[in-house]
Every structure is written in C-alpha cells, then in structure tokens.
Structure 1
Amino acid sequence: MECQECHENPATLHFKHVINGEERKLSLCEACAKKKGYVTFPEEGYSLHDLLTGLFNVETLNMNSTSKNQMKQLKEIKCSSCGMTFSEFKKIGKFGCANCYSSFAQKVEPIFRRVHAGNTKHNGKIPKRTGINLQTRRQIELYKQELKNFIDNEEFEKAAEYRDKIKELQAKASKKDDLKEGDDQ
C-alpha cells in the first residue's frame, strides 16, 4: 500500500480517526507522518538499551514512597564478582558478569515478571525433533522425585504406581531410541 499523502513511498503507519461516529482511515509513510505531526521518531531508533532503561525508569517512578536515602542504597547495590553497581547497569543496559543477575535480583525480578507475563524462570524451548525424548526424560525425573517422596513417607502403594510409570516411560524411550538408530543406518 502506498502513502496516501505523497503517493511515492510505501505506507508503514496506519491511523484510524473516529470523529462524530464517522470513521476515517489514513495510511502514511514515516516522512509524511512526521510532517503532519502524527508521530515523532528518534533519529537513531530504539535500542535494547533504551527499552531496558525505560523499564527501569518506570520502576523507579513507581517508587515515589521510598526516601532518597533508600533510593541511593538501592542504586549502590554492587556485584560481588565484577563490582558493577546497579546505577552503572542502568546506564549500560547489560550485566557485567554472570553473577550480576543474582546480585541485582531484587531489582530486576519485578521487571522480568512484568515483561514476561509473570515468569521469572527461563525454561527454554524444546526442539520438535528431540523434544519428545527430552519431555520423556523430564517426566521420568519428576516421577523419580515423587517416588522418593512416597518412599520417604512410607506410602508404598503409591510408590509402586510411580515405579511402574517410570518403567513404562523408560520402555517407550528405549523403543524410540531403537527406531532412531534404525533410521540412521
């Protein structure tokens, strides 16, 4: 779709105006949208650093009830490994080392929770090809933990059920492995 203003560039921005119940759609290129004053873009665009800095600034704005002294203490949290302070992290937008995550956890977890719909732990994605085996192995590990809990609590009937579930899953996994080896040859 081309820009409805200049008729030269492709339209990348689409606006919908509703005035007195009458709907009007407008498709413009970035240049024409700037000229008409609909939007303002930063010259360099947005970076990941800008996003993270914006998130942290939102967090600090929500902390109006804390005193300046408490804010200073929060900013002066230091990583025990690399010595990076939280205020340096806010400026740079990157951790200095792997230990920074645990050093700044009290500050970054609420942000991760907000950005990632409540999740603070990264589990990763499972590839489709090997995902079935991985899921089976994870399920076996969960069953083994449950089996141990049942044995510790002397619930031997439930423990026997989980032992059988583990054997069944292990048998399925070994059949799948045998099939894969047959495909490779």
Structure 2
Amino acid sequence: MICQECGQKPATIHFTKIVNGEKTEFHLCETCAGEKGDMFSSPSNFTINHLLSGLLNFNGAGTSIGGPSTEKPLRCETCGLTYSQFSKSGRFGCVDCYTSFAGRLDPLLKRIHGNMEHSGKVPQRSGGKIKLKKELQELKLQLQQKVAREEFEQAAKLRDKIKQLEKEIAHS
C-alpha cells in the first residue's frame, strides 16, 4: 500500500479513527507520519503501557480523564504501588495488588475481554467432560428463562435433558 500523503513511499503507519460511528483510515509512510505529528509518529513510540493507560482512562499526568481527583490515591497496602503507577507501567508490584485494585480491574477486564469468565479453547483430550458441563450450564440457564416465562412444557423437556446430561457427566 502506498502512502496517502506523498503517494510515493510504502505506507508503514496504518491508523484508524472512529468518531461518532464514522470510520476514517490513514495509511502513511514514516516520513509523512512524522510531519503530521505525534499521533502518527513511529510505532516504537507507542508501547503496551500507553495502550493500558488508555484503557484505564488515565492521561499522562496520572489523573483520571475526568480531571484531577481530590480523593486519596488507591494504593496496595503490601508493596505501596499506586493505581496510577500501575496504569503507567502495566505491572503489579506484588500478588496483593490484584486484591487492592480489584474494584477497578473487573470493569477493565470486562471491557478488554467482553466477559469476566474465560471461555477459550478446550483441549481435545479433556474436552468431552468440560463441553458437557458447559452444555449443562447453558441448559440450566435456558430452564430458568422458560420457567420465568411460564413455558412449562418446554421447561420440562429441558429438565429431562439436564437430568440425562448429569448422568452422563457422573458416568464419565
């Protein structure tokens, strides 16, 4: 792909901006990106810590994007790491940081992963029982929904499927 600015060099910086649902893409060479400013400068200037800081809603000063806070900064009691320091480095100071920052981590993880529960791939060898348990969990959820909607005939069918799956899991 050729640079959209100069039309001569290959584009090495690819930037997508979405504002109010309108998507704009920029494809620039390093020279043109450098002339455009910091937003398009070399990718080596952009680290995973910058990404994490953005996801944590922090600006460069370590305050929330909503403005400076008057409350005491969140701090781990064990190692003394503040949430602001964590957002800049992207690393915890100790194992207790997970507990200390849990209130702010849950929404962050949900925003990043879309869910708070891991639902990745299942290994082939041990996958049978895990898949059955997952199917059982889904059926129980459907059963609750059918009962709530007073669809008792369909709920009875689901109940029977659940009993059958529970037997299969017990035998395996």
TM-score under structure 2 length normalisation:
0.56
Aligned with residue 129 of structure 2, among 133, 136, 156: 133
Distance 2:135 2:43 in 1: 51
Specify the SS of the correspondent of 1:88: helix
Return the index of the structure with the highest Cα Rg: 1
* TM-aligned CA deviation for residue 47 of structure 1: 1.1
Of all paired residues, the percent bearing the same amino acid is: 31
Q: Deviations over 1:69-126 (max 9, x none)?
A: x2xx1x1x33244332323323322112232122112233333333334x3x241412
Go from structure 1 to structure 2 and tell me whether the alpha carbon gap of 1:103 and 1:167 turns closer, same or farther (over 3 Å shift): same
1:78 to 75, 78, 81: 75
Q: Which residue number corresponds to residue 91 of structure 2?
A: 94
Q: Which blocks of at least 5 consecutive residues in structure 1 are unaligned?
A: 16-24, 147-156, 175-185
d(CA) in 1 for partners of 2:11, 2:89: 35
Cα distance, 1:6 vs structure 2? 6.0
Work out the CA distance in 1 between the residues paired with 2:33 and 2:133: 54
* Aligned-partner residue type, residue 87 of structure 2: K
1:109 corresponds to which of 106, 109, 120: 106
Aligned to 1:177: none
What letter is aligned with 1:47? T
The verdict on how the C-alpha distance between 1:93 and 1:123 changes in structure 2, with shifts beyond 3 A counting, is same
Distance 2:122 2:14 in 1: 37
Cα distance in 2 between the residues matched to 1:126 and 1:43? 31
The structure richer in helix per residue is 1
Q: What residue in structure 1 maps to residue 40 of structure 2?
A: 40
Q: Aligned equivalents of 1:44 and 1:52: distance in 2?
A: 16
**1:4-33: CA deviations, max 9, x gaps?**
6363x4224579xxxxxxxxx985422234
1:19 matched to which residue of 2?
Answer: none
Compute the RMSD of aligned alpha carbons: 4.1
SS of the residue 2:166 aligns to: helix
2:45 alignment partner, SS class: coil
User: Distance between the aligned counterparts of 1:133 and 1:96, measured in 2?
Assistant: 38
Cα distance in 2 for partners of 1:138, 1:82 equals 39
1:123 paired residue number: 118
Unaligned runs of 5+ in 2: 16-24, 142-155
Q: Please give the TM-score of this superposition, normalised by the length of structure 1.
A: 0.53
CA spacing shift, 1:99–1:106, aligned 2, 3 Å:
same
